[in-house]
Structure formats: C-alpha cells, structure tokens
Amino acid sequence: CMLHVPTWLLGKPIFSVDIHPDGTKFATGGQGQDSGKVVIWSMAPVLKEEDEKNENIPKMLCQMDNHLACVNCVRWSNNGVYLASGGDDKLIMVWKRAAYIGPSTVFGSSSKLANVEQWRCVSILRSHSGDVMDVAWSPHDAWLASCSVDNTVVIWNAVKFPEILATLKGHSGLVKGLTWDPVGKYIASQADDRSLKVWRTMDWQLETSITKPFDECGGTTHVLRLSWSPDGHYLVSAHAMNNSGPTAQIIERDGWKTNMDFVGHRKAVTVVKFNPKIFKKKQKNGSSTKPSCPYCCCAVGSKDRSLSVWLTCLKRPLVVIHELFDKSIMDISWTLNGLGILVCSMDGSVAFLDFSQDELGDPLSEEEKSNIHQSTYGKSLAIMTEAQLSTTIIENPEMLKYQQRQQQQQMEQKNAAIREAAGTAMSAPKVASMVNGESLEDIRKNLLKKQVETRTADGRRRITPLCIAQLDTGDFSTAFFNSIPISGSLAGSMMSSQSNQQLMSLDSNATNSLGISKPSLEPLAASIKPTDDAVNKDGVNATSASAAPPVSSSSVLTTPSKIEPMKAFDSRFTERSKATSGTSAVINTNQTAIDRLKDQNLIKENKPKDILESSSDSEEKIPATKPLSLPKRKLELEAEIVEKKKKGRPRKDSRLVPVTLTVQSPAALASEKDATCISAPALALKLPTPIPQKSFTLQVSSDPSMYIEVENEMTTVGGSRLSRLKCNREGKEWETVLTSRILTAAGSCDVVSVACEKRTLSVFSACGRRLLPPIILHSPISALHCTVLNYAVMTANKHGSDTSVSQILLTQHGIPVMSLSDGKAYCFNPSLSTWNLVSDKQDSLAQCADYRNSLPSQEAMLCSGPLAIIQGRTSNSGRQAARLFSMPHLVQQETTLAYLENQIAAALMLQSSHEYRHWLLIYARYLVNEGFEYRLRELCKDLLGPVHYSAGSQWESTVVGLRKRELLKELLPVIGQNLRFQRLFTEYQEQLDILRDK
C-alpha cells in the first residue's frame, strides 16, 4: 500500500470526492470562495509523479462554482456521462460534458485557470427544503437518489429530469447518507434520527428500519455515508455504537441481522465505502488446496482522521492509517480496478492510496461478478454499460492498429488546429476557422447586421440577443464556439497522459502494508493561490511592461508610469454601482414616487405584468424573417399520443381482398433478380383500395415469426408527418420512417415492402435497409403480396394529376430523369420498368437528417454527380433546422437512416458510382457511430459476397462499376473506429484476407 498526498489539491474544505468510472479524472465538492465548488481533476498527476511535476499537464480540468453554497456530495453516474452534485443551497445539479467545446477560460480569470474540459449543468433538481447531503445513482443509472436535512430522500427519474418518482418520508432527523443495493432492489439511508432505513425500489416503501446499533449515537457527524457490498450481501453503516465505542455496523441482507461490526476507530465513522470489485485469494504457485470464497473489501473513514481498510474474510483490518489528515475524513472513492482509493478531508486535502493485488487478492471479472449477482438474486440491474466497453480488451492487432492510428490522427488534427489558432490568437481576437468559405468573423458580422433592436413602451432600447447555441443537447454548433486554445505541448501531453492509464504510485515513502506515518504536509502552506486581485494586477503590469516598445501598436497601455494611478480605480472594478440610473434608482425612490410611476405604467422591473406586456409587444415587432434566430423559436413537436398497440400475436390482415392477380410481363421476367412489379392491366375490374389506418400489425405468412408493424403519422417533424415501419423477426427488430402514410405492407424473410398513400412502393432488406428508391405506382395500391424474392403489386387504376413536367434530362448512362413542378424528380428504371422517386424538395427526411458527425470532412460534402444536380446542393439550413425541431434522438436516427438509404438507392438508380460510394461511406460511418449492428452486418455481407465460389450464386461482384470488396475494404477502417464492432471488423478483415490469398 502506497500513499500519496497531492499538494496541489489543498484548499478549502473538501466534502466529497468521486473517481470517474473511466479512471482518468475525479471530482471534488466543497466550499469555494463565496459559493460551493465542484472541481474536476485529472487523475494522471495523482497516479504518476512525473505527470505531477510536469507543468504542462493540467491538474484541474474544470471548476464549477454554480452552487450557491457548500457542495456536500459529488457522484458520477455509472456510465460516466453525468456528474451529480448536491449542496447546502438545497439544489442538485447534474453536469454533462460539452464535447464540442474546446478548452476555454473563465472570462476574466487569468489563463492558468483555463477549463480544459467543459462541463455544464444540464439539470437543476429542486425539491429539497434543506441542505442536500448525499446523492447516489442507481446501478443502472435510471434513478438518482438524494437525501437532505429536510428528513427526506427523493428519487429522481434520471432518464427524465426533473421528474420525481418518489419522496421517501420516514426519517425524523437529517438524512446524511445513501447507498443503493448493487442489484437495484433496495436503497438504504442513514440519518441523525439514530436509524438506518432500507427502502424497496419496487414500490418505494420501507423494507426495514434498523435502530438498535444507533441507540447510543449522538448526532454530530457531518455525513453518514453508508455503503453496500458489491456482492449485495452486506450493508455497512456509518457511525454506529457498540459498548460505547464507535463502530461501523455490518447489516446482513439476509434477515437484516446486525451481529457484526467494524471496531477500532476512536471517533465516529463518517464514511464507509466498498471496493467495487469482489476478490478471491491470490493463487500461489498453483498450489491451491481449497478454493477460497470470494470476499469484499471495504474502506472506513472516521472523524478520528484515520482510515482503515478491511477484507470481509479477515477479522482484523488489512491496513490502518492513523492521522492521515488534520481533520475528519469526509469521503472515499475507489478506482474502478479496485486497487486505489482517494480519500478527502475537511482540512482541504485529498490522499491517494495504492494497493497491490498481493494485498487485496485477485479481482473477479465483471462477468464473474454479474454471475454472482445472477445466481444469488436472479437478474441483476447492473447491466453492461458503455463505460465498461472502454475497458474492453482489443482482441485483434489490426483493430488496435486502427484505433491507434485514429488516436494519432485526432491528435495531429488537434495539434494542427491549436497551432493554427495559436498563430492567429496572438495577433487579434479573430478566429481563423472557416465554415464553408466564410470566416467566423464574417459570420458574426453578418449576424450582427441583423441584430434586432426595438423600443419598449417607455422608449428604452431593447436588443433581442442572437441565439448562437442551444444548451440542452450539449451539441453546440462548432461554428460559434468560444474557445481559447491551449498551447500545443499542453494538449499533446494531456493526450498522452490520458492514453496511458497505467496505475502507479511513485511515492518514495512507500512502506509495507501496515502503519504509515503521516506524510509531510509542510510545503503545502506555501502554495496558497494569490487572490484574484493580485493576479489581475500583475497581469496588467506584465502586459504593459512587456509591450512597451511598439508605441503606436494596438491594445496596450504605453507608458508604465501611468499604471500607478490605476490603483485608484481598483474599487471601481469590484464595487457595485450605487444607483447610477435606471432600475436601482427606481427601487430607491420613495413610496409616493413609486405610486406616481405606477400610474404612468413605467416601473417595469417592479411590476411583472407590465414587463410581460411590454415585452410581448416588442416581440411582435420583430420581423418574422430572421433566419438565424430561428433556433430560439423551437417548433413544438406535435407528438401525437400513439395509441397503445395490442400486444401479443397480431391478427392476420383481413382487410385486403383475398383475390390476387399475378401478371408477369416479359420485361419483368427478364429481371427476376430483385423484384417483379407490374401495374394492373387495363381490365375493367374495379378493385378496392385500402384506407389508411392509424396503425396495424401483420404477420408474414411465409415466416410466422416475423411481424410487420405500421404506425402511421406517429410524429410530426418540421411540419410533415412521419410514419413508422417496424419489423420484428425472431426478436431482431428494425425500424424506419417514411414520409407518407403506409397503406399496406408485405414481407418475406428477405424483403419487406410497403405501399404508401403517395402511390409509392418501398422495398427494404431483411435488416431494414432501403433497397430501391421509392417506386412510383401508376395508381393507388390495392393489394400487395410478397414471396421469397418476388412480389406482386396490384394497383387500382385511377388517373389524374395536376403537376407538370418541368425538366427532363438524360444522365451519361442514359437514365432518363424527369423533374416535376411539385419539386419531385423521378428516374426511369429499365429493369423494373418503373419510375422511381429520386428527389423530393419537400422531403422532410432531408431536413431532419443529421449525419454531420459522419461526414468525412467539409469539402467532401460537395459531391457532384447527377443526384447532386437533381437535388441541388444539400443546404446547410436543413442540417441546422434539424436542431430546432428538437425531436427525440430515436426519431432523428430513423429519419437520418431513411434519408441516407434514400440517397444510396437514388445514386444506385442513377448509376452514379461516385455518388453511390460517397453516400455509402457516410451511411456506413453513421451506422458505426450510432451502433446499428444488424444493418452494418448486412451491408458488409452484401459487399463481401460468397467467399467460396458457388455456381448458383446471384451475387455480383460489382455495383455501379465499383468493386464491392474494394468498397468493403474502404469501410473496414470506419468500422474499426468503434470498439463495439471489433468482432465484425475481425470477421470481415479475415475473410478479405482469405480472398486476397486465393
């Protein structure tokens, strides 16, 4: 066991510490200057002495002083995406990293305090009427619990903040600690009322209240952080008493028995924290005589300033570190690998302890742990999370190579960007980034020309600010972010420190497992931060002194002698103005004056109603045509309440006429490959046409395990209604969206086709990929049937159209394309003898699709070819608009997929190989980024074709002149970017290798 106290972490009281699940950073919460303070720190300098000494490695990543009062608790969600903090201001704040924003400084602070990472508050949870003492995420991150001195525990719906699922009432004293059962069945709370209560998550009712071990307790511990063992068997309380001695009470899950405790601390136990790992005895030289039981490890911190670490298989503590701090221990956090802990104290310091596997034992893998849960409790809530994916072992050296190359590229890009920005940032505040040929500066200028200024009723100027980014998504437009680049070396070293996650403590004072003396704290006092004032003043002096020579240069004070009188201004910077004019003056006026003003309807700030009226007045004056402020006017998502569909076996569709006519023309026979589609002959038969329904489900006759579900107009996005097609086959499910109501559907195990109200027929693969652009039917659909690879379409003939042809062109491959006056374009498909829709100006899919992240680079967007000519340039406005519809991510994904598939199919139809490849790559990237495995797999399978030659194969090795396997080779590096797909990557990599060797 090695101990390390980082000196740079000293400061005001630290009440809470928590290590991020990925192990690269940790958060502290406590008292700030005049507010509560949450700080996110880099873990590397704690782990490695050389990183600690390296001034280029930032120690602090981000600080947030948004809490009005002391922060009592900080906790990362299990997936590492969120940080929750609770404080004396009665609030819980939930933080999320804004990934699209680069490092930036806090405005006005010296550059050293730059926030390397941007964490912003995404939710503020208000419910408690007193200080929030502890917060805890449930094992599956679906719930967040908080407890408070208001005697309650609140369970928040973490999927839908700030929804409250339950308020647990029952404690009669300040609730000071919370812990979830690792399998999610219970939550336990400990309070000053000398009780520990266990609540059921099933109905949020009290399971048991344990009081006996706490009878003798006095209520003066600041926190009572209890903990549940990772195997779920034991719950260990904070401050309990046994024979007048402070203990940590062990409570057995089985019957809530209280027969054991951890004894030895001289003062109250403030915090207990179980190691997340379950251990088993280290096997020595293979001479394992009897298999030992798995055991848990627990750290106990106390007001007596010492820390003890226990193994549940030992009667005595493994380690006791006396007088680790000057004041009470407040919180403990284990690293995910279970070999290190951070301990924080009221004295404002944090200590890191490093254990070896020899000391603790061999940790069980997550799988083994999960098996223990499942064997003991059935299904466990602790499911495989994203965070655990990051610890996935890379099995394939090729995959590793791609990952490394990718990291390197990112680093190079970042460095290049930093170099570029650093070059320009020196000369002027201008930012050199270019967006579509426009510099950021130009964009700003243009925006500001459009600044809307109005007059309020009393003649005051009122500016409508330009909204440059929404907050909720954390997805900021990169065009506008306000970042200040950090130096290249700094970013580079940061990166290297992150990639190197080796855990090491280089503390030379390392001793054996027992009895560590107090580490020297002497030099710490010297490192007190200068106050803001001093820093700023120094800054002024430094700037003016160093920049003295160039006399006429801009933005510097030229004469050093003039600096001295500036001190006279100091108070002006920091003291609030005394009623200079306007509102504050109004507040200070006497009663009669106010009455008078009231009559005149002038005191805006004091009268809420007035200001509301006046503001709405002026809003009306805002011209409606202001494109860039559009995001503010969020379009309400007119989400219609979808009728609950009947579960269970869907009935067979009986609405269609049972008679079907299958007519095959010679043309269709010639192309038996994909599909056969014939319009109804000019028989004088009057066929019924199906009427659109809200939703329907049908079972595919050829494959009874396959259902097709249709939900028409399930959501409205950007003014157009989307209908959802869902297909379920043996538990595998896919979904897609269409812009027209679906009338009928049919499917087989290979294809699914649907006919829409707009007289289009769409064909999808077994995994939901669109195979063809919408085929235009001459007349409304009547019946649709589908066999293995053929399907018959029967349409009822009805003519009549009011649109005219606006343009006809012939591509270089001789494909006729017809553009109509309604903005739609069709091309003729000779193999099917049909017209297919290839472009629709009003297509809402195009407006909603958001695949920015999957674009290779800016210039690649400009892909020329017949499709681009027909569709015109894909406008940026469409992508920007995607943000303002505020649609659920799922819908966005579906629209994006549907759009990209349309594009691929259209490019294919137009035989535009260049564009086909372009859209295929974007599509693949999108599938990789969003994790759509089935579709990705199907795509790869199609591109690879049969590995072994077979005569009956209908697979063609090329598509629009491109070799499919070459395309697959291009896709593999893309697939390699997501570790999740490493199996897929390996599989296809190997098969390609086999093919190459042949």
Partner 1 sequence: MSRVSVLGVSVLENPSPFGRPLRFQVQFECGEALPRDLEWKIIYVGSAESEEYDQVLDSVLVGPVPAGRHMFVFEAEAPNPSLIPESDAVGVTVVLITCTYLGQEFIRVGYYVNNEYTDPELRENPPLKPDFSQLQRNILASNPRVTRFHINWDGPSDQMEDIENVDPEPEGVLSASCTSAKGPGTALGILPENSMDCM
Report d(CA 219, CA 241) in Å as an integer. Answer: 12
Question: Which residues touch 491 (CB under 8 Å, ≥6 apart)?
Answer: 103, 414, 415, 418
Alpha-carbon separation of residue 452 from 441, 619, 622, 795, 884 (angstroms): 19, 10, 7, 55, 20
Structure tokens at 996: 């190459």
Least distance CB 14 / partner 1 (angstroms): 11
Report d(CA 368, CA 361) in Å as an integer. Answer: 15
Omega cis (within 30) before 690: no
- Specify the residue, 558 or 787, whose C-beta has the smaller distance to partner 1: 558
- Specify the residue, 415 or 615, whose C-beta has the smaller distance to partner 1: 615
Question: Which residues touch 324 (CB under 8 Å, ≥6 apart)?
Answer: 3, 305, 306, 307, 343, 345, 351, 518
Least distance CB 270 / partner 1 (angstroms): 10
Least distance CB 196 / partner 1 (angstroms): 16
- Specify the residue, 827 or 882, whose C-beta has the smaller distance to partner 1: 882
- Specify the residue, 239 or 729, whose C-beta has the smaller distance to partner 1: 239
- Specify the residue, 466 or 960, whose C-beta has the smaller distance to partner 1: 466
- Specify the residue, 393 or 568, whose C-beta has the smaller distance to partner 1: 568
The total of other beta-carbon atoms located within 10 Å of residue 471's CB is 12
Least distance CB 559 / partner 1 (angstroms): 8
Burial class (CB in 10 A: 0-12, 13-18, 19+), 635: middle
Tell me the one-letter amino acid at 812.
Q
Task: Give me the long-range contacts of 549-552 (CB less than 8 A, separation at least 24).
Answer: none
Structure tokens at 382: 């602790």
Least distance CB 522 / partner 1 (angstroms): 20
- Specify the residue, 100 or 204, whose C-beta has the smaller distance to partner 1: 100
DSSP for 823-892? SEEEEEETTTTEEEEEEETT-HHHHH---GGG-S-TGGG---SHHHHHH-PPPHHHHHHHHHT---HHHH
- Specify the residue, 38 or 992, whose C-beta has the smaller distance to partner 1: 38
Least distance CB 435 / partner 1 (angstroms): 16
- Specify the residue, 473 or 501, whose C-beta has the smaller distance to partner 1: 473
- Specify the residue, 245 or 515, whose C-beta has the smaller distance to partner 1: 245
**Which residues lie across from 754 on neighbouring strands?**
745, 762
**Which residues lie across from 538 on neighbouring strands?**
none
Burial class (CB in 10 A: 0-12, 13-18, 19+), 880: middle
Least distance CB 241 / partner 1 (angstroms): 7
Alpha-carbon separation of residue 14 from 116, 174, 219, 343, 497 (angstroms): 21, 20, 21, 10, 25
- Specify the residue, 536 or 991, whose C-beta has the smaller distance to partner 1: 536
Say if CB 406 and CB 977 are below 8 A apart: yes
- Specify the residue, 29 or 866, whose C-beta has the smaller distance to partner 1: 29
- Specify the residue, 400 or 586, whose C-beta has the smaller distance to partner 1: 586
Least distance CB 121 / partner 1 (angstroms): 6
Say if CB 180 and CB 139 are below 8 A apart: yes
Burial class (CB in 10 A: 0-12, 13-18, 19+), 779: middle
- Specify the residue, 88 or 709, whose C-beta has the smaller distance to partner 1: 88
Least distance CB 574 / partner 1 (angstroms): 5
Report d(CA 37, CA 9) in Å as an integer. Answer: 13
Structure tokens at 644: 């609950």
Least distance CB 720 / partner 1 (angstroms): 25
Q: Provide Rg for the chain, Cα atoms.
A: 33
Least distance CB 443 / partner 1 (angstroms): 11
151 HSE (CA, 13 A, CB side): 8
> Which position has the token pair 């990291």?
407
- Specify the residue, 428 or 808, whose C-beta has the smaller distance to partner 1: 428
Alpha-carbon separation of residue 374 from 198, 240, 368, 369, 377 (angstroms): 21, 31, 10, 9, 5
- Specify the residue, 91 or 372, whose C-beta has the smaller distance to partner 1: 91
φ, ψ of residue 51 in degrees (nearest 5): -70, -30
Tell me the one-letter amino acid at 486.
I
Least distance CB 524 / partner 1 (angstroms): 15
Least distance CB 71 / partner 1 (angstroms): 10
Least distance CB 952 / partner 1 (angstroms): 60
Least distance CB 396 / partner 1 (angstroms): 42
Report d(CA 147, CA 190) in Å as an integer. Answer: 9
| DSSP code for 481 | -
Q: Reading across the β-sheet that carries 760-765, which strands appear in turn?
A: 742-747, 751-756, 760-765, 775-776, 834-840, 824-829, 816-820, 805-810
Least distance CB 468 / partner 1 (angstroms): 5
Report d(CA 335, CA 349) in Å as an integer. Answer: 18
Least distance CB 766 / partner 1 (angstroms): 43
> Which position has the token pair 């010296």?
110
Alpha-carbon separation of residue 498 from 3, 38, 58, 411, 507 (angstroms): 22, 21, 11, 12, 20
- Specify the residue, 70 or 516, whose C-beta has the smaller distance to partner 1: 70
Structure tokens at 791: 């399907």
Question: Which residues touch 232 (CB under 8 Å, ≥6 apart)?
Answer: 181, 182, 183, 253, 373, 376, 377
